[in-house]
């Protein structure tokens, strides 16, 4: 497998974290949101349950992304898609990438990255991302273990 760079690792881990966090959220009427906010929340949860999450560069990077960050990450989305690790999506029908979805291989790679960082066995059941609090920027500051 091709070695992943820091941005690629960041994207894979960010998508995995967001997908699991959002998919586990409730979406009933008792959330205390306006009908408009509830509708947007339900769409995010529905997309996450389908494996698709909105691009959240600011959250993944830990700082507001510059124009350069946007361009560099867009290139990495295409590279990761070429590697078969994710799919670029737009549920609204445009060619612009607004959402990302990990493929089965992408999920395995992202789980392996997370497992390597925390010394977990990658064959254990999926990690509950709400219980495991971590800072992606800190995680990426450490070198990727040699395979």
Tell the burial category of 121 from Cβ atoms under 10 Å away from its Cβ (0-12, 13-18, 19+).
exposed
| Distance linking the first and last C-alpha atoms of the chain | 10
- Report the pLDDT averaged over residues 97-110: 93
For the segment(s) 6-120, the CATH number from 3.40.50.970, 3.20.20.140, 3.40.50.300, 1.10.10.10 is: 1.10.10.10
130 band by pLDDT with thresholds 50, 70 and 90: very low
Q: Which residue has the higher pLDDT, 2 or 51?
A: 51
Tokens of 139: 């995680």
Could you read off the pLDDT of 36-70 as tens digits, one per residue? 888 888 888 888 889 999 999 999 999 999 999 99
Could you read off the pLDDT of 15-42 as tens digits, one per residue? 998 998 888 887 766 667 788 888 888 8
CA distance 9 to 117: 12
* Greatest distance between any 2 Cα atoms in the chain: 49
């Amino acid at each position: 497998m091709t070695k992943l760079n820091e941005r690629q690792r960041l994207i894979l881990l960010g998508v995995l974290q967001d997908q699991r966090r959002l998919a586990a959220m409730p979406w009933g009427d008792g959330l205390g949101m306006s009908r408009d906010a509830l509708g947007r929340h339900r769409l995010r949860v529905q997309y996450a349950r389908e494996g698709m999450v909105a691009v959240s560069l600011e959250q993944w990077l830990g700082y507001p992304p510059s124009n350069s960050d946007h361009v560099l990450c867009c290139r990495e989305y295409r590279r990761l898609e070429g590697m078969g690790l994710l799919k670029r999506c737009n549920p609204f029908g445009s060619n612009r990438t607004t959402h990302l979805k990990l493929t089965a291989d992408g999920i395995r790679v992202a789980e392996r990255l997370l497992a390597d960082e925390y010394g977990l066995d990658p064959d254990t059941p999926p990690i509950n991302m709400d219980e495991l609090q971590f800072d992606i920027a800190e995680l990426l500051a450490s070198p990727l273990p040699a395979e």
